[in-house]
Structure formats: structure tokens, C-alpha cells
Amino acid sequence: MTHSIARAAVRKPFPPSLLEALKAAFDERVSVAEAVRAHHGRDESMFDPQWPDAVVYARTTQEVAAIVALCAQYEVPVIPYGNGSSLEGHLLAVQGGVTIDLSEMNRVLSIDAHDLTATVQAGVSRKALNDALRDTGLFFPIDPGADASIGGMAATRASGTNAVRYGTMRENVLGLTVVRADARIIHTGSRARKSSAGYDLTRVFVGSEGTLGVITEVTVRLYPLPEAISAAMCAFPSMGDAVRTVIETIQLGVPVARVEFVDALAIRAINRHSNLTLPQTQTLFFEFHGSETGVREQAQTVQDIAAQHGGQGFAWATRPEERSRLWNARHSAYFAMLQLRPGCRALTTDVCVPISRLAECIEQTEADLKQSSLLCPIVGHVGDGNFHVAMLIDPASPAEIQEAEQLNQRLVSRALRFGGTCTGEHGVGLHKMDFLVDEHGADAVDTMRAIKHALDPHNLMNPGKIFAFHGPH
Amino acid sequence: MTHSIARAAVRKPFPPSLLEALKAAFDERVSVAEAVRAHHGRDESMFDPQWPDAVVYARTTQEVAAIVALCAQYEVPVIPYGNGSSLEGHLLAVQGGVTIDLSEMNRVLSIDAHDLTATVQAGVSRKALNDALRDTGLFFPIDPGADASIGGMAATRASGTNAVRYGTMRENVLGLTVVRADARIIHTGSRARKSSAGYDLTRVFVGSEGTLGVITEVTVRLYPLPEAISAAMCAFPSMGDAVRTVIETIQLGVPVARVEFVDALAIRAINRHSNLTLPQTQTLFFEFHGSETGVREQAQTVQDIAAQHGGQGFAWATRPEERSRLWNARHSAYFAMLQLRPGCRALTTDVCVPISRLAECIEQTEADLKQSSLLCPIVGHVGDGNFHVAMLIDPASPAEIQEAEQLNQRLVSRALRFGGTCTGEHGVGLHKMDFLVDEHGADAVDTMRAIKHALDPHNLMNPGKIFAFHGPH
């Protein structure tokens, strides 16, 4: 698994005087312990770990700037680390260097209920932010499967189940504090809802995967909790029927808050993991937000569409506890799927296609997967045209890895043919560098590389990710 | 009026052999006629015209690339020109060069009703796109006052009256075709609704005001026409009362499609210009989109809020013709206001603040304007926290210009103190370069400049706009 890693530069020896300088400044918050480095040299991807030379736990933007300044002085790579839940190898120290662990940057700095914004340190997790919002009547909707850090979610342009209604991190980050490669601290955006004041630096850094600087603070949009919420599941005879229900729902402009596809195999995994007894078939999970009558109207429209596609009745989760149980089950799908095959790891695909091509894409994929020997459950944020195949493989089996990679190659090619993207929400990391060129073309990727070179001329910010970089090194 | 222009570089002589080469390639679509150059050397700002040396009318992306390649060869500036409706001097040829007129790039390339997207050439105007959508049941919501080109709207990150519900060009551009400074053609984004595939080049170019390349094609999001639409006006005793109605509406999460503030003076202008008899007082214009019951619910909620702030009844425009009349009147406000003082020009402010500070900001501004001798009507997209003061001045009077600039300086400082932005939707152009630094800080603006330098090392793409640029020239 690893043409991508193979082409990364060779590690340089770690300068002892840098370690001394870090220890002088950060004391016991610097670690070179094997267990700590091992923990920080991996993520949820299938890649073998690549350890950093040292890990430093930062607590403030100024501390991050001090670490970056020291690393710049010694020309040592810097890797920002949130909650470790990346899926594409983003966190691996392929060229060694210093990992900055931001988990102690866990303060919610301000909640402005009147302006529907909050500013958090990068290490605050999405659940921690929502806990902090509990008494405000507001919520933060972006919810990748893991309880990721808000900084990490900004860095990978994450989304999740609510994106169909509320957008992704692209739409919901209003501003950032970033430590640049030269250790300068910049503030992007503002708390105003819109601005035409110069280049959109916020969105230059959102999705840059740590390669342009370290995101240390994030200002996000919040939303009023809807007056009414209702959730339901509906079983379908086939994937195509389920997906066509979604396509018509979106094309009609029904403002569904969530619409998630879970295939029969993933339902089996969820049942086992969350001790549920859902019918083992192709299923859509819905959630509707709005006024009481608005929610009723949306639900009726979607039920009518589902009925036309063989949807077998709606099972409603009306009480908050039932809803939580439903969505916790959905959110645990990734870990539930891993347990279908003990000891396995997952190569998780992430294509996203224009909604009109989703049925074709998912049906062709289903047919392709049927030829495979691998267990491959499918879940998807289908309202966005985004779905994930979790290919469960034995990480010690080169044959299985190769088979999974080939399935993924064909899937990405299919998605690109349909006008889609190789990654809807996970990012490029180490794994999708070649796909990035297939998707955007060499000249567009060169344009990205020019921006990288302008902001990080010595290629020290999470080097080796997103694209091969031919800098001065 | 002009420290900004004064600091731009001196014009270089225009190379006769470049003109010959352009004429060889474009024949009668190259013009050096005075009238043509004069027309293209100005916009709707107060700045004195600065003529380009030549104007070329392009019809395709490839033609734009050919013009850019020739200009690059001779190191001559390039200025993209859509419909000429910029407000901050974006189009002025402060260093001479070639203006590429994109008005003949007026083809709607594709409408994908199933995916709710359209791809247009950059010269297509917002009204032309909506005309093309007429029989599809879809619409494109972004509506700056002028019938701007979609390319120009992307370049300035424009918005308008619908942004409170549908977002701005930032949220509604899915992808771009761009000719870079070195004449390479790149495609950004995709037709998928979301993507984490590399840097967000789409949003690097949206709002870049022609300084990073020429936008030649734009893929935008479309929306289903709502099942029900209703519009209304409501008069208020004071600006503060009107604005507080808006603040509560937004904070409650009511999904208003439009909520526009028009002050008494602007109403007088609109009445004269559009031959209406609206009550001459502080007024909010509303529009509600949704299902029949949804629209009724929204309208009721907002009427309740308005009543608590002295709103004097809602005058409903229920029939489509009445609604069109209302919104045409609102859209003509800018030209209507200019007619309040024949021969004047307007210095139009554009601050945007967090919604919680809008009442303070607008009331302090009102007090400041009362001290002024200038006619200063106010209109605003207040649901976004954005409002415009049109300061009507005699362009031949340095004293009036100075007074307007001072009022604007104080207004921008006020907005920045409140956490807002110097420009919500008009852009920086020539006029707000100093404010940009005040807003973002020197290091953030340096970051923008680094991107500019990376993508346009010879500073040939609309030079002298957004920031002073110390490139190799």
C-alpha cells in the first residue's frame, strides 16, 4: 500500500539541539517516548504508522507559533494533530519531524448566541462544542463519524450527516487563526456573515490538511435548534430504489436535514455493535427539521416519494432518546463495520457525484463489489451524492490490499466520469494524490502547488500530503 | 479622490507590435477607438476614468488564453470586463494595458435541471441566466443591484437581496474555468455538491477581482422555484425599530428569503424613479419562500416581531406582477438615488457587521450622517448585517469628496470595531486597499500578496487592485 509513501522524501536526522530547545520551552509537554510517537504516527487509514521524532502538546496559538518557529529554524517538518481520526494518512510523519498535539487546546473561547457564532480552540471536538452549547438553544451541525476536533474538521473540509441541509466546513467556518510556516499568526475572515474583502484566506486554509499552516482557532456558524425534529427509517427493496427516493427528494427541494443510506451488510454490523434489531435490508435514515407543520409536510412529501419506490413504511423515532439511539447507531457504523471482521482494517472510499448520477454510480459499484471476495458494507450521505464503501481487509494480506485498491480505482474513475470528486469529505492525505491529478488536471494541481510553495517555501508543513512537492529541498 | 490611484505604477508605452498581433488574431474585435477605451476605463465608482490602451472582445476561453499569452509576452496588463457595473474602481486601467471585454461570451453552456446546476460563459448576466431558466422551474438567486455578469459577480464575490437565504457567490459557485496569468487554462471544483479534493481553488478565484486570472466560465447552483412566494412592505417609526425586527427574525432562525431596509430618503428616490407612492418612512421589504403553510408561518412570525417594534402593518404584494414591481423598484434604488441630485456621483459604502451589532452600527451611522451636508440615503441587505450609504456628491467638489471619504472612514472603523468587514459584497478594488489592512492585519494581507505573487509573478492581472503589490516590477 504505498507508492504514495515510497515517493516521500527520506527522513533527516532529528537535531538534538531542537529537542533541547523544545524541552526548555515546553518541559514535560515534549515527548519522545515510543508509545507517544507511535500513537501520533498513525490515523484511521490503512497505512503503516510513520512516527514523528517528537510530540509537543500546545495550549495556545502563541505556543504553536513558538514550536513552528523552532522547527522552521531547524528546517524540521511540523504535523498538526487533533483527535487522530483522519482516514487518508494525513497524520503520518512520512518525513519525520514534530507533531503538535492540539488536544489541550480544548477551550471554547466564545459563544455568541446573538450572532449564531462560536470561536473555539482547534482541539475542541464537535461533541464538546455541542455540550458547551447545551443551554443556548443552538447547535453546531457538522458531524463526521468520529468525534473529530474542529481544527481537524476545518483542515480536511469535513462534513457528515447534516451537510445536505447545513453545508460542510466550507460553508460553516467564518474565520480562522492560523500559524503560518514562518510562525506568523494571521486571522482570516470576520464574524460578519459575508465579506468581499480580499482573497478568501479562510477557504484557502479550510481543506489544506495542515500543508499551509497550523489552524489554532476556528470561528464557526451555529444554528437555532429547530422547533420540531422528527426522524425515521425506511427499508427499500434495492439500493437503486432507495437512491432514487433521495434523488427525487433533493430535486424537489425538500429541505431534509439528514438522509443517510445504509446497506444490508452495514445494518447487520450496526445491529451487532449497537445491540439493535433493525431489519437487515437497504435502509434510508431520515431526519426533518423545522416548524411542527413544516416537519409534517416534509415527512409527508418524502413518504409519498418513498412509497413510489417500494419503500416499506416509515418507522418513526419521535422521542429524543429514540432519535439519539438511531443516530448514535449510524455514527458508530464505521467502528461497527470494522467488527464484522476482527483484526481487519478498512479501506474506506469517499466518492461524491452529482445527485442525478448517484443511482448509476452506486448500482455499478454494487455490481463491481459483488465480484469481490471482500466484505464491503456501504453507507452514504446520499443527499449530497456522497457514499462510502468500507472494504474490510487483512492488513497483512498484499492480495487483499491490492484488490481493495483496484476496486477503489475503478470507483473513483467511475465517479470522475460522472462529474464527481474522488473525495467528498475525507481529504487527499497520502492516498489520493494521483486521483487529485486525474480529477483536476495537472495545471490545476500545479496551481495548488504554487500556493503551497508561496506559503511554505521549505515544505515543512505536513510535507508529503495532497501532492508531490518539488520545492527547494 | 486619490491616494489609491496615485500610488499605482506609471503607465508604460503600449507596444505597437502587440497591437498588430492582436489585430492579426482578432481583427475588428480589437479596438483602440477613444469612445471604446473611455467606455471600458470606468465603472460605477466615483473615480476618474483610466483608459486601457486597447479593448479586445473575446468569445471563448481559448481566445482569452490567446490574448493573455500575447499580453504576457509583452508584459502588458490584462483587465477582464463584464458589464461594467463594479463600484470600487475594479475596471480602471491604472497601468494601461488590454481590457478583455467578455460581453460576447454570453452563452449558457448547460443547464442541468436534475443536478440543480448551470454552466455559463462569464459574460452571461444574472437576468439572462434567469431568462434561460424560465421553463425549468429553477432559478439563480444572486442579484446585485445591476444586471451584472456572472463572471464579474464571481470575481467580486457578489451577493444581493437573496443572500440571507441562499448565500453569496462564495456559496453558489461550484466550479470555474480560469485563464491564469501564464495563459494556462484550469478547471476548478466539480459538479458534486461537496469535495475535499485539495485546495479550494474555486474560492481562491471567487473574490479575487481579476488579479489572479481571468474567469471565463462559471458553474453555479440553481434552486427550485418555491411552491409559494409572498412579499410585503412594513413601515417603522425609526431605523432602530426596523433593524431590531430584522435581528430578532434572524436570531429566531426564520428562513426569510429577503429582508431589505430602505430609509425614508431612499423611498423618496424610489417613488420618483419608479413612479410609486410608498409611504416616505423607514421601511422593510420582505419576501418569504416555501410551501403555502410554511410561507404563512414565516409571515406570521415576522409580523408578530414587527408589531412589537412599532411596525405599521404589512402591505402585501401577492400577485407576481406586484412582487416584480416591488423588487424592480428596490433593484433600481441605486439609480433612483443618483437622480436625487442630478449630475452627482455616489460614494457607496458597503460595511457588513455581525447581526447583533447592526442596530448600533446603523444608528451611530445615522447620527454621523445627520451632521453632514450631503444627501445620504441608506439601503441594506440587513438580514446579512450589510447596508449601503449612498453619499451623493458633486464629483467636481474636492470638499464634498473629502467629506464623503471621512464619513466612510468613520463608518468602516465603526464596522471593524464591531467585528465586521469593510465590504460585504462590492469588493476592494482601488478604494478599500487601506481598509483591507485595517481589517485583516498586515500579515494576512501579506499572505494574500504571496498568493498573488505565486500566481501572477509579473503583476499583469488587473494590477493595482486589492493591495499595493511590490513584485519584480
Q: B54, B95 in Cβ contact below 8 A?
A: no
Q: Nearest by CB to B115, which of A117, A355, A440?
A: A355
Alpha helices in A332-459 (DSSP H): 333-338, 358-370, 398-417, 433-440, 442-455
- Cell (9 digits) for A438: 486525474
- Whole-number Å distance between alpha carbons of B321 and A275: 59
In the block, which residue shows the cell 449510524?
Answer: A330
Tell me if the domain spanning A108-224 has CATH number 1.10.10.10: no
CB contacts of A250 in chain B (<8 Å) are 116
Interface pTM (ipTM) of the complex?
Answer: 0.96
CA distance A27 to chain B (A): 30
Beta strands in A242-281 (DSSP E): 258-262
| Residues near A212 by beta carbon (within 8 Å), at least 6 away in sequence | A178, A180, A181, A204, A205, A451, A452, A455, A456, A461, B199
Q: Do B207 and A185 touch (CB under 8 A)?
A: no
Band of residue B9 on the pLDDT scale cut at 50, 70, 90 = low
Chain B contact for A186 (CB, 8 A cutoff): yes
Residue B208 to residues A353, B126, B257, B455, Cα–Cα distance (Å): 28, 19, 27, 12
Q: Do A197 and B223 touch (CB under 8 A)?
A: no
pLDDT at B337 over 60: yes
Q: Do B203 and A200 touch (CB under 8 A)?
A: yes
- pLDDT tens track for A357-404: 999 999 999 999 999 999 999 999 999 999 999 999 999 999 999 999
Q: Do B171 and A168 touch (CB under 8 A)?
A: no
Residue of chain A whose Cα is closest to the Cα of B213: A447
Q: What is the pLDDT of residue B46?
A: 86
Q: Do B354 and A117 touch (CB under 8 A)?
A: yes
Q: What is the pLDDT of residue A13?
A: 92
- Whole-number Å distance between alpha carbons of B283 and A404: 62
Q: Which CATH architecture fits B228-418?
A: 3-Layer(aba) Sandwich (3.40)
CA distance A450 to chain B (A): 6
Q: Do B420 and A159 touch (CB under 8 A)?
A: no
pLDDT at B119 over 50: yes
Instruction: Give the angle subtended at the CA of A41 by the CAs of A36 and A45, to the nearest 5°.
Output: 135
CB contacts of B426 in chain A (<8 Å) are 196
A76 by DSSP, 3-state: which? coil
Q: Which residues of chain A have pLDDT under 50?
A: 1-8, 471-473
Taking all residues of chain B, what is their mean pLDDT, rounded to a whole number?
A: 94
Q: What is the CATH number of domain A16-103?
A: 3.30.43.10
Q: A129, A120 in Cβ contact below 8 A?
A: yes
- Whole-number Å distance between alpha carbons of B422 and B433: 10
CB contacts of B466 in chain A (<8 Å) are 198-199
Q: What is the pLDDT of residue A470?
A: 54
Q: Do A198 and B440 touch (CB under 8 A)?
A: yes
Band of residue B3 on the pLDDT scale cut at 50, 70, 90 = very low
Chain B contact for A166 (CB, 8 A cutoff): no
Residue of chain B whose Cα is closest to the Cα of A248: B114
CB contacts of B185 in chain A (<8 Å) are 443
- CB-CB neighbours of B312 under 10 Å: 15
Mutate to test the interface with B, among A177, A193, A350, A382 (most CBs of B within 10 A): A193
CA distance A239 to chain B (A): 19
Residue of chain A whose Cα is closest to the Cα of B456: A450
Q: Nearest by CB to B352, which of A116, A168, A194?
A: A194
Mutate to test the interface with B, among A138, A177, A187, A195 (most CBs of B within 10 A): A195
Taking all residues of chain A, what is their mean pLDDT, rounded to a whole number?
A: 94
Q: Do B443 and A186 touch (CB under 8 A)?
A: yes
Q: Nearest by CB to B355, which of A115, A435, A439?
A: A115
Q: What is the pLDDT of residue B472?
A: 34
Q: A188, B448 in Cβ contact below 8 A?
A: no
pLDDT at B2 over 70: no
Q: Do B196 and A158 touch (CB under 8 A)?
A: yes
Chain B contact for A467 (CB, 8 A cutoff): yes
Residue of chain B whose Cα is closest to the Cα of A114: B356
Q: Do B196 and A428 touch (CB under 8 A)?
A: yes
In which region does residue A441 sit, left (phi positive, over 0), alpha (psi from -120 to 50) or beta (all else)? left
- Whole-number Å distance between alpha carbons of B118 and B172: 11
Q: How many CB pairs under 8 A join A and B?
A: 282
Q: Nearest by CB to B190, which of A196, A420, A448?
A: A420
CB contacts of A443 in chain B (<8 Å) are 180, 184-186
- Indicate the helix (H) or strand (E) that contains B449: helix B442-455
- pLDDT tens track for B24-77: 999 999 999 999 999 999 998 889 999 999 999 999 999 999 999 999 999 999
Q: Do A423 and B195 touch (CB under 8 A)?
A: yes
**Beta-bridge partners for A448:** none
pLDDT at B11 over 60: yes
CB contacts of B257 in chain A (<8 Å) are none
Domain ranges of chain B: 16-103, 108-224, 228-418
- pLDDT tens track for B171-184: 999 999 999 999 99
Residue of chain A whose Cα is closest to the Cα of B352: A192
- CB-CB neighbours of A99 under 10 Å: 29
- Whole-number Å distance between alpha carbons of A427 and B269: 52
Q: Do A297 and B294 touch (CB under 8 A)?
A: yes
Q: Do A199 and B184 touch (CB under 8 A)?
A: no
Give residues 276 to 305 of B whose Cβ lies within 8 Å of A. Answer: 290-291, 293-294, 297
Chain B contact for A444 (CB, 8 A cutoff): yes
pTM of the model: 0.96
Residue B311's Cβ-side half-sphere holds a number of Cα atoms within 13 Å equal to 24
Query: What is the percentage of chain A residues whose pLDDT exceeds 90?
Result: 91
Q: B141, B162 in Cβ contact below 8 A?
A: yes
pLDDT at B465 over 60: yes
Instruction: Give the angle subtended at the CA of B236 by the CAs of B233 and B242, to the nearest 5°.
Output: 85
Q: Do A196 and B420 touch (CB under 8 A)?
A: no
